[in-house]
Amino acid sequence: MFPLIFSLIFLLIIPSTVIGWGYGLNRVQTAQEDSEANTGYGPGWVGLSYKPNGPIVGYLFAEGFQFSDGAIKGSFDHKDIRGTTDVNTPHPTIDRWPWGYAHGGFDGCADAYGTSKFAFVGGYSSSQCVNGPNVPGDQCSPGPFWHSETVFCTDNAADPLCSPVGVWSECKTCEYGVCGTKPVKSHGCPAYGNIGATAAYGSGAPVVQHPLGFVPAGSNMDLRYVTKDKQYVMAKWHEGELISGIEWAFFPRSCVSEEGPGPTDQVWVDFNYAGPEQGTEQKPFNTLSEGTNAVNPGGEVIMKPGTSGERPTLSKPMYLKSSEGTVTIGE
């Protein structure tokens, strides 16, 4: 009888690991690779600013990130990390702020909210932003900054939502009666992650990308700044969050107001109006969706003559009226 011999083969499985951040080209880690979340970063995303621990000016996203419209990010956003600003800020977890060129929907120079969400890829991909931020910090924030805060709207006389110093903050605007963010109301606001660096920093046309959710009409919001062209605001939903725990986003300027619209029985809309909006005859909304969101069930939306390409979905009974002349909807 031959001896019975058993052969045991052990297969050693070593889990794959993600290489941490490094100086050079880095990608954003996926939610599966790192699900940690805190102020300015979360599963599959990281915020960008013009200074350490500063207001958001855009986002980078990982491959596979799902936006609020169901679209899936098909590729990684990257950042050339040229250096870091190592300063103490009030942020609970970050003391190293990586700076350099941020690709993706931002496409410009910025600091990122920490290094933890990045994975090293290789050598630098761009010669942009190589000299680093060079605007000195101030009494409120350690520097350096990429830009002064006057890249945002400071014309408070023309638009009361514009901060006289560029941003509404606890340190800089108490003398203007607002110690912190400026309270505003939503008229029904879509949220976006990026409008592009040139638009965020005040000199270019917005390229709106990356839908993050919707803030219902009548909701309280906290506004940080208005873009130089007064087309968008950086704000957050006071009572809630957007997709994947994101708080801050770009919203159309037209969908927020200092005085909340409040549901009403009569709302006015003028598609050609460009001033501050309250839904009144003197300060009408400039989109039909704002009017239909703000009106009470059974109320009336009165439109001034004009044309809108909107095709609204009505979820409550209401009257749509023309104040005078012809109103064309859906073209």
pLDDT greater than 50 at residue 10: no
Cα 207 from Cα 194, distance rounded (Å): 7
Structure tokens at 277: 């909006």
Cα 229 from Cα 40, distance rounded (Å): 25
- Per-residue pLDDT band at 259 (split at 50, 70, 90): low
Instruction: Name the least confident of 57-66, 69-78, 305-314.
Output: 305-314
| Mean pLDDT, range 267-271, rounded to an integer | 93
Q: For the range 268-277, what are the long-range contacts, defined as Cβ-Cβ under 8 Å and sequence gap of 24 or more?
A: 268/301, 268/302, 268/303, 268/304, 268/323, 269/301, 269/302, 269/303, 269/304, 270/303, 270/304, 270/306, 271/303, 271/304, 271/306, 271/307, 271/308, 272/304, 272/306, 273/304, 276/159, 276/160, 276/161, 277/187
What is the three-class DSSP state of 292?
Answer: helix
* Cβ-contact 51, 169 below 8 angstroms: no
* Cβ-contact 207, 194 below 8 angstroms: yes
What is the model's pLDDT at position 264?
72
What is the model's pLDDT at position 117?
97
What is the model's pLDDT at position 293?
84
40: nearest Cα among 91, 107, 84: 91
- Give Cα separations from 87 to 58, 140, 147 (angstroms): 21, 13, 18
What is the model's pLDDT at position 88?
86
DSSP 208-235: -EEEEEEEPTT-EEEEEEE-TTSSEEEE
* Cβ-contact 100, 82 below 8 angstroms: yes
Structure tokens at 2: 């031959």
What is the model's pLDDT at position 19?
80
Domain layout of the chain by residue ranges: 24-122, 150-194+207-257, 264-329
Residues in a beta bridge with 319: 300
- Per-residue pLDDT band at 297 (split at 50, 70, 90): confident
What is the model's pLDDT at position 123?
97
199: nearest Cα among 132, 106, 134: 106
Mean pLDDT, all residues of the chain: 90
Exposed, middle or buried: residue 324 (CB in 10 Å: 0-12, 13-18, 19+)? Answer: exposed
Residues in the chain, total: 331
What is the model's pLDDT at position 17?
61
Per-residue model confidence as pLDDT tens digits over 204-240: 999 999 999 999 988 999 999 999 999 999 999 998 9
| Mean pLDDT, range 303-325, rounded to an integer | 90
Question: 153 phi and psi, to 5 degrees?
Answer: -65, 130
Residue 129: CB atoms within 10 Å:
19
Please indicate, yes or no, whether the overall pTM of this predicted structure exceeds 0.85.
no
pLDDT greater than 50 at residue 173: yes
Structure tokens at 248: 């801050």
Per-residue model confidence as pLDDT tens digits over 186-204: 988 999 999 999 999 998 9
Structure tokens at 39: 């102020």
